[in-house]
Amino acid sequence: MIIISPDTELPALLDITLSGVAGINSSLHLYGQNNDLITSSDNNPAGIGEEIMGIGITKPGSYYVMVTAKGYASSDQPYKIMYDLRKHNVSEEMEPNNNFNSANQFVQNHMKGRISSDGDRDFFLYRSGSGRKDFYRIEVRPPEAVDAKISLYDKNRNLIISLDNSGAGGNEVFPNFCSTEDFFIVISAKHNQFSSNYYTLSVDQLDKPNTMETEPNDTKGKASPVNGGSITGYTSYKKDIDYFLLEYDRRVKIEFVIEGVKDGEIKVSITDPLGYILKSVTVKHNIQKNLTEFVDKKGYIIVESIRENYDNPYRIDLKSGN
Ligand SMILES: [Ca+2]
Ligand SMILES: [Ca+2]
Ligand SMILES: [Ca+2]
Ligand SMILES: [Ca+2]
């Protein structure tokens, strides 16, 4: 039993460690005030201990730890349980946070957490609510052993997109996520991948959103409008396609001045009003290429990602002639 006294500064985080016993496959459980199970840990094979990390304690009182062994195995070798109650830092996850209702709220622009067991999912709520289009770079940097995945949900809990572009230890990035309202970020990992090391999750607002594409814009129907004489976009994920809508009141000759993606490669096409490609150019790296085409009142610019780079944008300036 762990007693949390009323003088303890709360919320706090509780870590519990169970030592291993040779030949025993143990599991560790934490129960709360009314004998309700808060969480369990059964990650490791026989002979290796278990850990329960970063459980949020918000109320004083009695908490119970239970240790069980699988099958009928027994041993006269003793085990040890250690626990530590530490101050909660607002930028650390608080378990359990395994569903929308228990999502941890972002206070600063970064969070750290752990995929602490097989199937652990960490829900975070980012409060935006400005009502206008804001753009964010969202990035998770996992520890070496973990192949992380980011899933983004709108405030009504509908999935917007899942990103799983890199392998174990690799960052997952959405360079220009657009939202006008609160959104959820869920961090998870591939089956059987967990670690007692932290990942970090950051959400940084981009400064210059006025010419930025609005994802998702991967089809004609979701094309981003072209505001003014230039557009900016990213190869936002693997095999990303970006559509931009061109609209004029007459047939116009346009020179498209394209600056490619540094350390990336894109294919830029101009289409007729129905979306059939008239002209294409491939742009490697951030070199500049020009394309001139007539747009008969309506057309599309299509930017296809050939080699993604999540750090650098492309830019296209439109110069209309006669
Ligand atoms: Ca976690
Ligand atoms: Ca979790
Ligand atoms: Ca894009
Ligand atoms: Ca796109």
Closest CA to 24 of 62, 89, 76: 76
- SS3 label, residue 292: strand
What is the C-alpha separation between 172 and 48, in angstroms, rounded?
Answer: 31
What is the C-alpha separation between 137 and 290, in angstroms, rounded?
Answer: 29
Percentage of the chain lying above the pLDDT 90 cut: 84
pLDDT tens-place string over residues 138-147:
999 999 989 9
Q: What is the pLDDT of residue 32?
A: 92
The order of strands in the sheet holding 134-141 is 110-113, 199-205, 134-141, 172-179
What is the C-alpha separation between 319 and 255, in angstroms, rounded?
Answer: 5
What is the C-alpha separation between 117 and 127, in angstroms, rounded?
Answer: 27
Domain 220-320 fold is: Jelly Rolls (2.60.120)
Write the CA distances from 285 to 206, 230, 270, 315, integer angstroms.
22, 19, 20, 12
Confidence of residue 260 (pLDDT cuts 50, 70, 90): very high
Residues around ligand 4, an ion, CB closer than 5 A: 215, 217-218, 240, 242
Ligand 3 center from residue 237 Cα (angstroms): 7
Closest CA to 302 of 272, 263, 271, 278: 271
Q: Is the pLDDT confidence value at 124 over 90?
A: yes
What is the C-alpha separation between 10 and 192, in angstroms, rounded?
Answer: 32
Ligand 4 center from residue 233 Cα (angstroms): 9
Confidence of residue 121 (pLDDT cuts 50, 70, 90): very high
Closest CA to 58 of 38, 42, 73, 41: 38
Q: Is the pLDDT confidence value at 196 over 70?
A: yes
**1 or 314, which is more confident?**
314
Ligand 4 center from residue 229 Cα (angstroms): 20
Closest CA to 275 of 299, 240, 245: 299
- SS3 label, residue 152: strand
Find where tokens 């492309």 sit.
Answer: 314
Confidence of residue 319 (pLDDT cuts 50, 70, 90): very high
What is the C-alpha separation between 272 and 276, in angstroms, rounded?
Answer: 5
For all residues of the chain together, what is the average pLDDT? 93
Q: Is the pLDDT confidence value at 155 over 80?
A: yes
What is the C-alpha separation between 158 and 151, in angstroms, rounded?
Answer: 10
Q: Is the pTM of this model over 0.85?
A: yes
Strands 148-154 and 122-126: unpaired
Ligand 1 center from residue 188 Cα (angstroms): 8
Ligand 4 center from residue 279 Cα (angstroms): 20
- SS3 label, residue 102: helix
What is the average pLDDT across 78-100? 95
Contact 116, 54 (CB under 8 A): yes
What is the C-alpha separation between 187 and 42, in angstroms, rounded?
Answer: 20
Q: What is the pLDDT of residue 322?
A: 57
Counting ligands in written order, which one lies closest to the CA of residue 236?
A: 3
- SS3 label, residue 147: coil
Q: Where are the domains of the chain?
A: 2-87, 100-205, 220-320
Find where tokens 């059987």 sit.
Answer: 192
Which class in CATH covers the domain with range 100-205?
mainly beta
Write the CA distances from 52 to 33, 81, 239, integer angstroms.
17, 11, 39
Closest CA to 123 of 67, 182, 69: 182
Q: Is the pLDDT confidence value at 266 over 70?
A: yes
Q: Is the pLDDT confidence value at 57 over 60?
A: yes
Confidence of residue 74 (pLDDT cuts 50, 70, 90): confident
Q: What is the pLDDT of residue 35?
A: 86
Q: What is the pLDDT of residue 128?
A: 86
Highest mean pLDDT among 24-28, 38-42, 122-126: 122-126
**266 or 225, which is more confident?**
266
DSSP state letters, 240-262: -EEEEEEEEEEEEEEEEEEE--T
Ligand 1 center from residue 93 Cα (angstroms): 7
Q: What is the pLDDT of residue 282?
A: 98
What sections of 9-154 are H helices per DSSP?
none
Counting ligands in written order, which one lies closest to the CA of residue 102?
A: 2
Q: Give CATH for domain 2-87.
A: 2.60.120
Is 220-320 the same fold as 2-87?
A: yes
